[in-house]
Structure 1
Amino acid sequence: MKAAFITGHGGNEVVSVGERPLPPRGPGEVLVRLRAATLNQVDLYMRNSGAGIRHQLPQIMGLDGCGVVEEVGPDETRLRPGQRVLVYPGITCGRCEFCLAGQPVLCASMSLLGEHRDGTFAQYLSVPAANLFPVPAPLGDAEAAALGVNHLTAWRMVNTQARLQAHETVLIFGIGGGVSLAALQLARLIGARTIVTSRDELKLQRALALGAHHAIHSQREDVARQVMALTDGRGVDVVIENVGAAVWDSALRSLVRGGRIVTCGATTGDQPPADLRRVFIRQLQVLGSTLGNPGELAQVLALCQRGLLRPVIDSVYPLDEVHAALARLESGAQFGKIALRID
Structure 2
Amino acid sequence: MKAVFITGHGGNEVVQIGDRPRPTRRPGEALIRLHAATLNQVDLYMRNSGAGITHTLPQIMGLDGAGVVEEVDADEPLLKPGQAVVVHPGLACGRCEFCQRGEGVLCTGMRFLGEHRDGTFAEWVAVPARNVFPKPEALDFVQAAALGVNHLTAWRMLFTQARVKAWETVLVFGIGGGVSLAALQLAKAAGARVIVTSRDDTKLDRARALGADHGINSRHQDVAKAVLAATDGRGVDVVIENVGEAVWSAAMKSLVRGGRLVTCGATSGDQPPADLRRIFIRQLQILGSTHGDLAEFHDLLRFVTRHAIVPVIDSRFPLDHARDALDRLESGQQFGKVGLDLLA
Task: State the TM-score bracket (shorter-chain normalisation).
Answer: over 0.9
**Which residue is equivalent to 2:108?**
108
Report deviation, 1:303. 2.2
In 2, the alpha carbon distance for the partners of 1:107 and 1:326 equals 29
For the residue of structure 2 that corresponds to 1:180, the secondary structure is helix
In 2, the alpha carbon distance for the partners of 1:303 and 1:162 equals 17
In 2, the alpha carbon distance for the partners of 1:303 and 1:163 equals 15
In 2, the alpha carbon distance for the partners of 1:248 and 1:307 equals 32
Contact 1:138 1:307 in 2 (8 A): no
**Which residue is equivalent to 1:136?**
136
1:144-200: CA deviation from partner (whole Å, max 9, x where unpaired) = 101111111111001110111111111000001111011011111121111000011
1:34-60: CA deviation from partner (whole Å, max 9, x where unpaired) = 000000111111111111111111110
Contact 1:38 1:337 in 2 (8 A): yes
**Which residue is equivalent to 2:26?**
26
Q: Percent identity?
A: 69
**Which residue is equivalent to 1:233?**
233
Q: What TM-score does the superposition give when structure 1 sets the normalisation length?
A: 0.98
Residue 261 (str. 1) matches residue 261 (str. 2): yes
**Which residue is equivalent to 1:244?**
244
**Which residue is equivalent to 2:188?**
188
Report deviation, 1:226. 0.4
Task: Check 1:276–1:307 CA distance in 2 against 1; reply closer, same or farther (3 A cut).
Answer: closer
**Which residue is equivalent to 1:49?**
49
In 2, the alpha carbon distance for the partners of 1:311 and 1:96 equals 33
Report deviation, 1:81. 1.1
Structure 1: where are the runs of 5+ without partners? none
1:50-65 equivalences in 2 (<5 Å): 50-65=50-65
Aligned partner of 1:289: which letter?
A: S
Aligned partner of 1:275: which letter?
A: D
Taking only aligned residues, the RMSD between alpha carbons, in angstroms, comes to: 1.0
In 2, the alpha carbon distance for the partners of 1:302 and 1:165 equals 18
Aligned partner of 2:219: which letter?
A: Q
1:100-148: CA deviation from partner (whole Å, max 9, x where unpaired) = 1111111111100001110000000000100100101111000110111
In 1, the alpha carbon distance for the partners of 2:327 and 2:276 equals 37
Report deviation, 1:269. 1.4
**Which residue is equivalent to 1:289?**
289
In 1, the alpha carbon distance for the partners of 2:65 and 2:310 equals 16
For the residue of structure 1 that corresponds to 2:290, the secondary structure is coil
Residue 177 (str. 1) matches residue 169 (str. 2): no
Residue 124 (str. 1) matches residue 124 (str. 2): yes
Residue 208 (str. 1) matches residue 232 (str. 2): no
Contact 1:138 1:304 in 2 (8 A): no
1:210-264: CA deviation from partner (whole Å, max 9, x where unpaired) = 1111000000111011011111221111000011111111111111111100001
**Which residue is equivalent to 2:324?**
324
**Which residue is equivalent to 2:273?**
273
In 2, the alpha carbon distance for the partners of 1:76 and 1:196 equals 43
In 2, the alpha carbon distance for the partners of 1:164 and 1:78 equals 31
For the residue of structure 1 that corresponds to 2:159, the secondary structure is helix
**Which residue is equivalent to 2:16?**
16
In 2, the alpha carbon distance for the partners of 1:30 and 1:188 equals 35
In 2, the alpha carbon distance for the partners of 1:185 and 1:199 equals 20
For the residue of structure 1 that corresponds to 2:157, the secondary structure is helix
Aligned partner of 1:87: which letter?
A: V
Report deviation, 1:94. 1.2
For the residue of structure 2 that corresponds to 1:69, the secondary structure is strand
Contact 2:84 2:135 in 1 (8 A): yes
Question: What is the number of residues matched between the two proteins?
Answer: 343
**Which residue is equivalent to 2:74?**
74
Residue 40 (str. 1) matches residue 37 (str. 2): no
1:251-299: CA deviation from partner (whole Å, max 9, x where unpaired) = 1111111110000111111121211221122111100011111111111
For the residue of structure 2 that corresponds to 1:310, the secondary structure is coil
Contact 2:189 2:307 in 1 (8 A): no
Aligned partner of 2:169: which letter?
A: T
Report deviation, 1:308. 2.6
Q: What TM-score does the superposition give when structure 2 sets the normalisation length?
A: 0.98
Report deviation, 1:307. 4.6
